[in-house]
Amino acid sequence: MALYSEKVMDHFRNPRNVGQIDDADGVGEVGNAKCGDIMRMYLKVDENQVITDVKFNTFGCGSAIATSSMATELIKGKTIQEALELSNKAVVEALDGLPVHKLHCSVLAEQAVRAAVKDYYDRHGIAYDPEDFREMDEDELHEHVGH
């Protein structure tokens, strides 16, 4: 079996929603200290808390690009709450899998979405449970991806 699925290669070669939104309602930037990759996510949100537009910039590996691209596709048109519930596992499944040593890249995509949602809440003075936004440590990461 090829190391990367067709979908991963497709999203890596033709990433969706690349760019930035100048008047974004929420912006999240996260990085992985180990590999040094950085991901920035921009959300445009309407009065019903629906994500009407989303863009990303990723300075990182191919899997980071593919997972952030897929993450934008999965949250576009969804509510902020639904975006918050997006797990890295869902992103990986939507891409038909990732090699185990690349699963952390999908965690970065989940965290970028969460960081953008948090920024949206902060800017709009919306109360939230800080538990929803705590950093995931290595153990949780393993739990998170089911290994």
Q: Which of residues 6-25 bind ligand FES (CB under 6 A)?
A: none
Interaction between residue 105 and ligand FES (CB under 6 A): yes
Contact status: 61 vs ligand FES (CB under 6 A): yes
Q: Does 57 bind ligand FES (CB under 6 A)?
A: no
Q: Kind and range of the H or E element at 109?
A: helix 103-123
**Which residue, 17 or 67, has its beta carbon nearer to ligand FES?**
67
Q: Which residues are part of the catalytic machinery? A: 35, 105
Residue span binding ligand FES (CB under 6 A) among the ranges 22-30, 41-49, 58-66, 85-93: 58-66
Given CA atoms 120, 12, 60, 144 in this order, what sign does their dihedral have?
A: positive
Is 88 a binding residue for ligand FES by CB under 6 A? The answer is: no
The whole-angstrom separation of Cα 36 and Cα 94 is: 25
Instruction: Show the binding pattern over residues 29-48: x = contacts ligand FES (CB under 6 A), - = does not.
Output: ---x--x-x-----------
Burial of 69 (0-12, 13-18, 19+ CB in 10 A): buried
Residues 6+ apart with CB under 8 A from 83: 43, 51, 75, 113, 116, 117
